């Protein structure tokens, strides 16, 4: 973990503990998780609910914290959907196995009947006995055909069901990797994507760059215009970032008002160009308050750019990009700072975890 990441996480922890103390909420793990999540701003719906409570003059207490935890953290829709799909798929597979077992049983019975008829045939057999064997064989054959037809129907239905379940499973997996507010990839997907991209860069010797983005003065903007407008800003930044990358590039919400872009097969100079394009595109957009069409001005962001080096870990690459980002914030904001030529890490150490973006 980088120094900046540590300081930021420690700031979130202090905020969570302060809220627990103010509400006289016991510091059980689930309540700490609830208020730590609130401090990071990673769950906009949770933040909107708690902010409304604060605005009413109330403070979350033990009972309310329990309800909020059950609603926002205990149950995750995407995970529940995955579990539901897995359970349905398991039941369908069991039904197919049962149908196949029944068909095998009937096949064995048919084979036994054939063997019995074969053993009963002799030169001295009477026409009546031969006719009886023929009728028996015909009946068994008809029963086998009926069984096979039913099996075909069950397998056809199972195939259709499994195809639908597979689609549901793919959709649920995709949803579990998306940030619910901005609809771009979430932190979990970012972490997995960065690890994968770095492994491929090391294996194939391809360039790889990372861009970290922080919305300027976001907390001040959020406090001034409200959280719904703040959410609109987050969606605007996400849309702008996503529309200015392509191919195997991955845009993600890193947390709160921070975003990131993983740029495989992109060298340092090209990554600086991408970041500058996103910065200009974002600055060119004028924000309107939807309810009144009031012009709220323009949103800007600061950018940090670093590129993969042999021997890098995800933490080391993130730390360099983070230092560049904080250098951009301390250089006046609304600019792109790359790691080449960056003087020293003092910029990052001046950054307070709870500093307004």
Per-residue model confidence as pLDDT tens digits over 97-113: 777 777 777 776 777 77
Could you read off the pLDDT of 292-330 as tens digits, one per residue? 777 788 899 999 999 999 999 999 999 999 999 999 999
Residue 345 scores a pLDDT above 90: no
Across the range 148-173, mean pLDDT stands at: 71
Q: Are residues 289 and 194 in the same domain?
A: yes
User: 355 pLDDT band (50/70/90 cuts)?
Assistant: very low
Catalytic residue list contains 156? no
Q: Are residues 337 and 260 in the same domain?
A: yes
State how far the Cα of 16 lies from the Cα of 23, in Å rounded to an integer: 11
Residue 297, strand partner residues: 287
pLDDT of res. 348:
41
Judged by average pLDDT, the poorest of 156-160, 192-196, 302-306, 311-315 is 156-160
Q: Are residues 42 and 87 in the same domain?
A: no
Across the range 5-29, mean pLDDT stands at: 82
Across the range 32-42, mean pLDDT stands at: 84
State how far the Cα of 254 lies from the Cα of 238, in Å rounded to an integer: 11
Tokens describing residue 302: 């600061």
User: 267 pLDDT band (50/70/90 cuts)?
Assistant: very high
CATH number at 222 reads 3.30.70.270
Q: Look at residue 344 and tell me if it is in a domain.
A: yes
Q: Which helix (H) or strand (E) holds 278?
A: helix 268-283
DSSP string covering 52-65: HHHHTT----HHHH
Domain final position from 129, 150, 176: 176
Q: Are residues 191 and 309 in the same domain?
A: yes
pLDDT above 70 covers a percentage of the chain that reads: 80
Q: Are residues 254 and 198 in the same domain?
A: yes
Q: Are residues 65 and 86 in the same domain?
A: no
Residue indicated by tokens 């103010």: 22
- Choosing from 71, 87, 156, 257, the catalytic residue is 257
Tokens describing residue 33: 């998780």
Tokens describing residue 168: 């549901």
Across the range 161-180, mean pLDDT stands at: 73
Which among 280, 316, 300, 281 is positioned nearest to 208, based on CA atoms? 316
Q: Look at residue 336 and tell me if it is in a domain.
A: yes
Which among 298, 280, 274, 282 is positioned nearest to 237, based on CA atoms? 282
Judged by average pLDDT, the poorest of 78-92, 113-127, 258-272 is 78-92
Judged by average pLDDT, the poorest of 43-57, 127-141, 221-235, 321-335 is 127-141
Tokens describing residue 198: 């770095």
Across the range 6-26, mean pLDDT stands at: 83
Across the range 106-127, mean pLDDT stands at: 69
Q: Are residues 257 and 342 in the same domain?
A: yes
Q: Look at residue 357 and tell me if it is in a domain.
A: no
Q: Which helix (H) or strand (E) holds 213?
A: strand 208-215
Range of the domain at 98: 78-176
Q: Are residues 239 and 251 in the same domain?
A: yes
What is the number of structural domains in the chain? 3
Provide the whole-model pTM: 0.59
User: 119 pLDDT band (50/70/90 cuts)?
Assistant: low
Of 319 and 84, the one with more pLDDT:
319
Q: Are residues 258 and 126 in the same domain?
A: no
pLDDT of res. 13:
86
Residue 288 scores a pLDDT above 90: no
Q: Are residues 267 and 210 in the same domain?
A: yes
Average pLDDT, the chain: 81
Q: Look at residue 335 and tell me if it is in a domain.
A: yes
Phi and psi (nearest 5°) for 210? -130, 130
Q: Are residues 233 and 258 in the same domain?
A: yes
Domain final position from 176, 202, 236: 176
Specify burial of residue 105 (Cβ count, 10 A radius: 0-12, 13-18, 19+). Answer: exposed
Q: Are residues 302 and 225 in the same domain?
A: yes
Across the range 215-232, mean pLDDT stands at: 85
State how far the Cα of 324 lies from the Cα of 307, in Å rounded to an integer: 11
Q: Look at residue 66 and tell me if it is in a domain.
A: yes
Q: Look at residue 355 and tell me if it is in a domain.
A: no
For 185, which DSSP code? B
Residue 275 scores a pLDDT above 80: yes
């Amino acid at each position: 973990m980088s120094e900046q990441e540590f300081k930021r996480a420690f700031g979130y922890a202090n905020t969570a503990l302060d809220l627990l103390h103010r509400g006289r909420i016991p510091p059980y793990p689930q309540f700490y998780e609830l208020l730590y999540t609130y401090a990071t701003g990673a769950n906009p719906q949770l933040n909107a609910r708690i902010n409304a409570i604060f605005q009413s003059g109330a403070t979350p207490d033990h009972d309310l914290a329990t309800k909020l935890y059950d609603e926002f953290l205990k149950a995750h829709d995407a995970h529940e959907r995955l579990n539901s799909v897995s359970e349905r798929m398991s039941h369908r597979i069991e039904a197919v196995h049962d149908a196949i077992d029944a068909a095998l049983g009937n096949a064995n019975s048919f084979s036994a009947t054939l063997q019995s008829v074969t053993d009963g045939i002799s030169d001295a057999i009477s026409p009546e006995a031969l006719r009886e064997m023929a009728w028996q064989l015909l009946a068994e054959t008809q029963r086998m055909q009926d069984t096979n037809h039913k099996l075909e129907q069950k397998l056809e239905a199972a195939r259709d069901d499994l195809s639908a379940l597979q689609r549901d499973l793919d959709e649920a997996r995709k949803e579990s990797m998306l940030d619910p507010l901005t609809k771009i990839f979430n932190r979990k997907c970012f972490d997995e994507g960065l690890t994968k991209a770095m492994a491929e860069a090391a294996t194939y010797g391809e360039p790889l760059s990372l861009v970290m983005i922080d919305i300027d003065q976001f907390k001040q903007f959020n406090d001034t215009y409200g959280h719904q407008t703040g959410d609109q800003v987050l969606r605007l930044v996400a849309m702008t970032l996503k529309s200015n990358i392509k191919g195997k590039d991955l845009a993600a919400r890193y947390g709160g008002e921070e975003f990131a872009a993983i740029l495989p097969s992109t060298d340092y100079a090209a990554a600086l160009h991408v970041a500058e394009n996103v910065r200009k595109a974002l600055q060119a957009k004028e924000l309107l308050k939807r309810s009144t069409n009031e012009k709220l001005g323009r949103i800007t962001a600061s950018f940090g750019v670093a590129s993969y080096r042999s021997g890098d870990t995800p933490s080391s690459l993130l730390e360099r990009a983070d230092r560049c980002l904080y250098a951009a914030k301390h250089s006046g904001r609304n600019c792109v700072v790359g790691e080449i030529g960056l003087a020293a890490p003092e910029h990052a150490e001046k950054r307070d975890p709870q500093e307004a973006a």
